[in-house]
Amino acid sequence: MDIKRDGAPTVSVAQGNTVVLSWPLTGQPDGNWQVLFGQPDSYDTSHSPQRINLVGTQASVTCSRDQIDSYVSWFDKWAEMANSKHAALEAENERQRRARQEEADRERADVAELNTELAKKYGGK
Residues 90-111 as b or e (16 or more Cβ within 10 Å = b): eeeeeeeeeeeeeeeeeeeeee
Residue 108 resides in a domain: no
Residue 119 resides in a domain: no
Structural domains of the chain, count: 1
Residue 76 resides in a domain: yes
Residue 106 resides in a domain: no
Residue 64 resides in a domain: yes
Q: What range does the domain containing 73 cover?
A: 10-89
Query: Edge-to-edge strands of the sheet including 53-55?
Result: 10-15, 18-24, 58-64, 53-55
Determine what percent of the chain falls in helix, strand and coil, rounding each to the nearest 5: 55, 20, 25
pLDDT digits over 88-124, tens only? Answer: 999 999 999 999 999 999 999 999 999 999 999 898 6
Residue 53 resides in a domain: yes
Distances (CA, A) of 76 to 5, 37, 71: 7, 10, 9
Residue 74 resides in a domain: yes
Name the CA dihedral angle for 37, 42, 46, 49, rounded to a multiple of 10 degrees: 0
Residue 5 resides in a domain: no
pLDDT digits over 50-91, tens only? Answer: 999 999 999 999 999 999 999 999 999 999 999 999 999 999
Helix residue ranges per DSSP H, the chain:
31-37, 68-122
